[in-house]
Amino acid sequence: MKDLVGKTAFITGAASGIGLGVATRLAQAGVKVMMCDIERAALDKAVADLKRTNADVEAVVADVSLKPELEAAAQATLARYGEVHIVHNNAGVAGGGVYGAWADAGWSWTIGVNLMAVVWGVEIFGPLIERHGQGGHIVNTASIAGLVSGSGNAYNVTKYGVVALSEGLRVELAPRGIGVSVLCPGFIRTQIIDSVRNLPERFAGALPAAPAPAQSAIATWLGNVRERVASGIDPLYVGELVREGIEQDWPYIFTDNEFEPAIEARFGAIKAGFDRVRGREPPH
Ligand X SMILES: NC(=O)c1ccc[n+]([C@@H]2O[C@H](COP(=O)([O-])OP(=O)(O)OC[C@H]3O[C@@H](n4cnc5c(N)ncnc54)[C@H](O)[C@@H]3O)[C@@H](O)[C@H]2O)c1
The residues that touch ligand X, with contacts defined as CB under 6 A, are: 12-13, 15-19, 37-39, 42, 62-65, 90-93, 113-114, 141, 143, 185, 187-188, 190-192, 195, 198, 229, 232
Rounded to a whole number of angstroms, the minimum distance from the CB of residue 175 to ligand X is 28
Of 108 and 114, nearer to ligand X (C-beta) is 114
**C-beta of 41: minimal distance to ligand X in Å?**
10
- Using an 8 Å Cβ cutoff, are 120 and 70 in contact? yes
d(CA 173, CA 193): 33
What are all long-range contacts of 46-55, with beta carbons under 8 Å and residues at least 24 apart?
46/14, 46/15, 46/16, 46/20, 50/23, 50/24, 53/27, 53/28, 55/24, 55/27, 55/28
CB atoms within 10 A of CB 238: 27
Q: Which is nearer to ligand X, 38 or 148 (CB)?
A: 38
Packed helices 154-173 and 117-132: angle between N→C axes, nearest 10 degrees:
20
Question: Which are the contacts of 234, defined by CB distance < 8 A and separation ≥ 6?
Answer: 21, 188, 189
Catalytic residue among 99, 155, 160, 252: 155
| 135 vs 83: CA distance, rounded Å | 11
Nearer to ligand X, 58 or 63 (CB): 63
Given a contact cutoff of 8 angstroms between Cβ atoms, the answer to whether 105 and 200 are in contact is: no
* Shortest Cβ 267–ligand X spacing (Å): 20
Comparing C-alpha atoms, which of 148, 150, 146 is closest to residue 160? 146
- Residue 161's identity, in one-letter code, is G
Asked if 155 is an active-site residue, the reply is: yes
Nearer to ligand X, 8 or 195 (CB): 195
Least spacing, CB of residue 63 vs ligand X, in Å: 4
CA distance linking residue 113 with residue 67, whole number of Å? 10
Compute the least distance from the CB of residue 1 to ligand X, in Å: 21
Q: Please, which residue, 60 or 84, has the CB nearer to ligand X?
A: 60
Tell me which residues are annotated as active site. Answer: 155
